[in-house]
Amino acid sequence: GENVEQHPSTLSVQEGDSAVIKCTYSDSASNYFPWYKQELGKGPQLIIDIRSNVGEKKDQRIAVTLNKTAKHFSLHITETQPEDSAVYFCAASKYSGGGADGLTFGKGTHLIIQP
């Protein structure tokens, strides 16, 4: 089955700086790569996703890049703000929305924005 590795486990950056979180996956059949943000005591919330037919996607301060050859994808957050502090999860799946196998998640990155 699919295996997703995520690094780093904790990332501390100064407010206004950029943050980068990296993930690798094992199954070359995976085609859908979402990123979720989880705040304390809440469920994961989708912040951006990318499908294998594109290499990069951007939404305001958030961007995701995908390298299918190397089987890795990354989340980039620019101009970080205190409200960006949370745990971020990457995931992979063969199908948009998860399909029958669901999403395979990385172990998460605790992003801390220092004032």
Near another protein by CB under 8 A, which window of 14-22, 38-46, 54-62, 75-83?
38-46
Q: Closer CB to another protein, residue 81 or residue 86?
A: 86
Using CB under 8 A as the binding rule, whether residue 98 contacts another protein is answered as: yes
- State the minimum distance, in angstroms, from the CB of residue 1 to another protein: 7
CB neighbours (10 Å) of residue 69?
A: 7
- Rounded CA-CA distance 30/85 in Å is 29
Using CB under 8 A as the binding rule, whether residue 100 contacts another protein is answered as: yes
Between the alpha carbon of residue 78 and those of residues 61, 68, 102, the distances in Å are 5, 23, 30
> Which two tokens mark 107?
């172990």
Of 31, 80, 38, 34, whose CA–CA distance to 54 is shortest?
Answer: 31
Q: Are 47 and 113 in contact (CB under 8 A)?
A: no
- State the minimum distance, in angstroms, from the CB of residue 15 to another protein: 26
Using CB under 8 A as the binding rule, whether residue 46 contacts another protein is answered as: yes
Which residues are near another protein by CB under 8 A? 1, 4, 6, 9, 34, 36, 41-46, 49, 89, 91, 95-108
